Structure 1
Amino acid sequence: MNTAALTFSTVSKTFTRGRQVSALAEVSFSIQPGRVTGLIGPDGAGKTTLLRLAAGLLLPDEGEIQVLDMDALAEPLKVQSSISYMPQRFGLYEDLSVQENLDLYADLQGLPVAKRPARYAELMQMTGLSPFAERLAGKLSGGMKQKLGLACTLVHSPRLLLLDEPTVGVDPVSRRELWQIVYRQVQEAGMTVLLSTAYLDEAERCDEVLLLHQGKLLDQGKPAQFSRSVAGRTFQVSSNALSHRRLQETLSQAPGVLDALIEGETVRLVMETACAPAAEQLLPGQDIHITAVEPCFEDAFIARLKVRQTDAPPVEFSPSASLDKAEDDVVIRVDKLQRRFGDFIAVNNVSFSVRRGEIFGLLGANGAGKSTTFRMLCGLLPVSSGELAVAGYDLRRAAATARGRIGYMAQKFSLYSNLSVRQNLRFFSSAYGLRGKQQKARLEWALNTFELASFQDVNAGDLPLGYKQRLSFAAALMHEPEILFLDEPTSGVDPLARREFWARTNALAESGVTVLVTTHFMEEANYCDRLVIMADGEVLAAGTPLEMKMQARTVEHPDPTMEDAFIQLIEQRQQTSETAA
């Protein structure tokens, strides 16, 4: 008898989408029972295909799949009755309550009625959804929806749990709670879990990791094994003379540097070889401090997959700003902003300002009110009360004029899936008033700068996630806006695509474009000059990333991350609210 929970033997799967796409190529591996195994890889690596094959929802072109000692090809229904699979877009019924969704999935999974009360009570307590049993699923925050989706998946306790990026778009507090639920199932029920994730700090928590790339399995092992492969190649660099953004941009072009990533107030380097760099080698004539640091799992991922590009197209950008003012001019002003939905106050007395050329972060837990604030800033939602000015225009009186100065990249892919890349760019440039030679020049700029030329005739809906992100970013910049709104722009994309995105965003900020960004990936907050953290519709904290981290610093934890600071601030708010209640 096979002791493995899941075994793939030379499994291949090809799709035809106008052209032949090899999703998996001769993939072989086994995962052991009672463990959490992470599935990682760049966008388009084949992770979702692998999970759907394991769930019996797809059949391979070649190879064999064994699931819990069952032949997945010969007995797909038997396999599906023994496992649970939570896809990226889990099918909650938004017009049904939390309890009604649980009842529906209990019916679908054949859970006996007599066993339901005890299982429901356990799941409600585990997910913290007990107070919301009668609330419609569509009225839940993003984090609560993910927890409800996981609860529905677990109604009938499976032996094997397959999760496809369960924490995408979820704030750090909810992410941590979801992980606690997963590990509780492993420890108490002996469950086996295979999950894909775009967050490499999550992969580092797994017992074992599978690394996929271009449909092939590159490696399998413990996260620590991956980290050891880049020993002697990781360093931190700091400078008193250069901003962390300028330092990162300069170091990324330095000889011998494979990767340069902003990490707090320093820049983390992964070198091409295990050789300590000299200051003169990295930044001639600059006073910098270099410290060797222990490698982490993300360092190994980047070292394995990143190809250094010294000839990538530069982000040439000259915003057509008519406001000829000093760099410290305020271009976004929010004063006592409020938004009500009936008796519910979603945003309450929010105030902040953003200066020209600044990257400003708007952070918060799911349901904190930041998306509502963001939509008001973009002129997509009317203000209930308070003052809101963008690019010198009062949004309560001149929203349409202000929108012409704004570029907007939505959280969810919002371009036209049935149009090609070029057709989307032409449509959005026309919508922004571009015509003739100017439009043609901007189209070529977008295709070349974002390396979309080879995909220009591909329908947008068929693009890998990372290229969808590039297309959305390019469309937002067609009219050279002076202010750029980015709503969770890197949600779900892999670390390579995130680095590419932030290199472009930093270049825009250096050219004078003002950027306002929301993100659930807390380390991205280090790219911000200043930020606010929202909770319950109000501003909980405001300042620089360093000031935020200072608030979380303790004797036991002298060097907290942005995620540490975020979680501590949110938990303090929750404790204060509970005490007041």
Structure 2
Amino acid sequence: MTDAVVQISSVSKRFGEAIQALDGIEASIRPGEITGLVGPDGAGKTTLIRLMTGLMLPDEGSLTVLGFDTARDAASIQTAIGYMPQRFGLYEDLSVQENLDLYADLRGLPKAERAAIFDELLTFTDLAAFTTRLAGRLSGGMKQKLGLACALLKKPRLLLLDEPGVGVDPISRRDLWKMVEDLTHEGIGVVWSTAYLDEAQACDRVLLLNRGKLLFAGKPSELTGKVDGRVFRLGDIEGRRRPALARALAVPGIVDGVIQGQAIRLVTGDKIGLAEEAARAAGARAKPQPIQPRFEDAFVDLLGGGPGGRSLLAEATRALPVEEGRPVIEARGLTKHFGDFAAAQDISFEIPRGQIFGLLGPNGAGKSTTFKMLCGLLKPTGGEGRVAGFDLRRDSAEARNRLGYMAQKFSLYGDLSVAQNLAFFAGVYGLTGARKRERIDLMTEIFDFGPRRTMSAKDLPLGLKQRLALACAVMHEPEALFLDEPTSGVDPITRREFWTHINALVEKGVTVLVTTHFMDEAEYCDRISLIYRGRAIALGSPDELKARVADAAHPDPTMEDAFIALVQGSEAKAA
């Protein structure tokens, strides 16, 4: 294609003998469009983006970027493109302005042009009021906006963004998306690698990779059309929805299934009558309702379906006794001040045994502060928190032994092997002797760590890092499980596997507190507290929160619609 800003011709890339990162990729990137680069963890997305920058060379085939061959003219390409890698190299001890100055020096931006360009970019990214703030003190969304500004210091004809939305709340992601969409109106070609499939659905075109192979290239609607008539909503479910989903997924021919509030969303195979069979298995009293397919439905279908509804982890976990009346996790007026700044103010809720409770909110709203106070990592200024009846101030050691914690950022020891991490955390949680060996062997078998026992944790693919973090958190069979954005950046197949385990553990009586920016994950929660500017602004089930914002224009809002509307409503009241 002559007007392509990137032409990829029969490109293959290997790392060593065993790993085929890319295999015979043929594709093109057009100007004035957003091309989504999607696929599971380890599919080859980052490798393909780095090949486009000229930072790596293909083993076979060729790439032409803006008319330059990456093998011969890498320097010409690198001066003409904008590139924002997955872990963008902002200097956290420099201010917003100092980061811009540094990247302007690195890009050779003439000093006479800088003031006008800085002013334009700071206005464009809405960072003009924060030029003196240290980058390390910016919210996740603001960091990504600063990263984008640095990538745009010299207006490129091609902008490469490697998962820019990871760890960013829905409002900031929409802002980021709108900013990038505006760039395409100037003819800039954009490659947007993403784990959020609602973003992929909004792209002009998508390239879908899996295990180094290109499975699909075209408009998102072309892929979504492949599951037309095979996506259903099961409502009016008798009993608890989590075991109902597991039973539905056990029906042969069911491709995928997720919880949506009190309902279940299913993708079926081609066999007639599968939806009705799954509805009977799930205990749905209403007839399955055909619904509009999403890109994620087609994505999972193309990859051969989700992981099913069975959790070997939960099957190997003892059931906790039902205790009526006593919540497992309690927050009573929790407050935290950092100097004059109130990060969390008078947060209160209770979580009974065997429920999932979600803390949602924009970046910097106070949800992580609340979360850390409740798992004993941060001492509250006021109020109290309890886990399994133990006060986190007075009985912190006893409380911590009853909980498992999975951090927002990978918090295991990267230089230790998989086996060494499992052994270390088993010891931290007080396991010894035969019990310790038994639990380590069990985690190794359930999560298939055997072939990678001796591999350093830092070298694991992201999906396996998350599995290892979960295995370490549940090693001691905790009563309460604290999950801080546990699937950030992870592909949908791995996320489904993760939530299969969590849903099944909850049915064994485990109580879960979770923070997440994936609004479809929020649907798994029994109740949600939405936190904004340090205060709880809404509390209820996913369906209750959606019902609060439903109107004639949005009669059936999504969780993302509810999140944004409730935050904007709170802002309007405060104005």
Alignment equivalent of 2:289, drawn from 287, 291, 308: 291
Confirm or deny: 8 A CA contact 1:86 1:153 kept in the other structure. Answer: yes
1:242 CA displacement: 2.7
Which residue does the alignment assign to 2:464? Answer: 467
- Secondary structure at 2:14 match in 1: strand
2:268 is the alignment partner of 1:266: no
1:244 paired with 2:265, answer: no
- CA distance in structure 2 between the partners assigned to 1:484 and 1:442 by the alignment: 17
Whole-Å Cα distance in 1 between the matches of residues 431 and 364 of structure 2?
37
Q: Per the alignment, do residues 147 and 308 of structure 1 end up closer, same or farther by CA in structure 2, a change over 3 Å counting?
A: closer
1:358-379, CA deviations, whole angstroms, 9 ceiling, x for partnerless residues?
1000111000011111111111
Cα RMSD after superposing both structures: 1.7
Residues 308-331 of structure 1 deviation map (CA, whole Å, 9 limit, x = unaligned): 65687352244586xx66245211
Specify the SS of the correspondent of 2:328.
strand
| Corresponding residue of 1:404 | 401
- More divergent stretch after superposition (441-450 vs 152-161): 441-450
Q: Specify which of 146, 161, 180 is matched with residue 148 of structure 1.
A: 146
**Maintained 8 Å contact 1:483/1:513:** yes
Contact kept in structure 2, 1:335 and 1:351, CA below 8 Å:
yes
Q: Is residue 127 of structure 2 the alignment partner of residue 129 of structure 1?
A: yes
Question: What are the Cα deviations for residues 514-553 of structure 1, in whole angstroms up to 9, with x where unaligned?
Answer: 0000001111111000110000111111111111111110
Change (3 A) 1:253 1:320: closer
Question: Does the residue aligned with 2:72 lie in a helix, a strand or coil?
Answer: coil
Amino acid of the structure 1 residue aligned with 2:104 = A
Paired residues for 1:39-438 under 5 Å:
39-187=37-185, 189-273=186-270, 275-277=272-274, 279-280=276-277, 282-283=279-280, 287-307=285-305, 313=312, 315-318=314-317, 326-438=323-435
Unaligned runs of 5+ in 2: none
Q: What one-letter code is carried by the residue in structure 2 that aligns with 1:12? A: S
- Cα distance in 1 for residues equivalent to 2:78 and 2:272: 51
User: After alignment, is 220-229 or 447-456 more displaced?
Assistant: 447-456
| Equivalent residue, structure 2, for 1:519 | 516
User: Hey, what's the Cα distance between the residues in 1 that align with 2:215 and 2:434?
Assistant: 46
Deviation of residue 169 (structure 1)? 0.2
Letter in 1 for 2:69: D
Q: What is the CA-CA distance between 1:256 and the residue it aligns to?
A: 2.1
SS of residue in 2 equivalent to 1:527 = coil
Question: Which of 125-134 and 555-564 deviates more?
Answer: 125-134
Q: Percent identity?
A: 53
Alpha-carbon distance between aligned partners in 2 of 1:467 and 1:516, rounded to the nearest angstrom: 22
CA contact (8 A) 2:242 2:504 kept: no
Q: TM-score, normalised by structure 2?
A: 0.96
Out of 173-182 and 150-159, give the one that drifted further: 150-159
Q: Deviations over 1:286-341 (max 9, x none)?
A: 634201122221111000113465687352244586xx662452111111111111
Match of 2:8 in 1: 8
**Cα pair 2:422 2:472 within 8 Å, conserved:** yes
Please tell me whether the aligned partners of residues 317 and 480 of structure 1 are also in contact (alpha carbons under 8 angstroms).
no
Using the alignment, how far apart are the partners of 1:282 and 1:320 within structure 2?
Answer: 27
Contact 1:164 1:195 in 2 (8 A): yes
Aligned residue pairs, count: 573
Partners of 2:46 and 2:456 lie apart in 1 by 20
Contact kept? 2:319, 2:509, Cα under 8 Å: no
After superposing the two structures, state which structure 1 stretch, 298-307 or 448-457, moved more: 448-457
Structure 2 vs 1, CA of residues 286 and 159 (structure 1 numbering), >3 Å: closer, same or farther?
A: closer
Matched, 1:573 2:546: no
> Is residue 307–residue 493 contact of structure 2 (8 Å, CA) maintained in 1?
no
SS in 1 for 2:267: strand
Structure 1 stretches lacking a partner, 5+ long: none
Provide the secondary structure at the position in 2 that maps to 1:289: coil
The answer to whether the 8 A contact 1:319-1:481 is kept is no
CA deviations over 1:483-533 (Å, ceiling 9, x no partner)? 000000010000101111111000010000000000011111110001100
Q: Distance in 2 between matches of 1:461 and 1:168?
A: 19
Contact 1:320–1:481 (CA<8 Å) still a contact in 2?
Answer: no
Q: State the AA in 2 paired with 1:316.
A: E
- Whole-Å separation in 1 of the counterparts to 2:569 and 2:275: 43
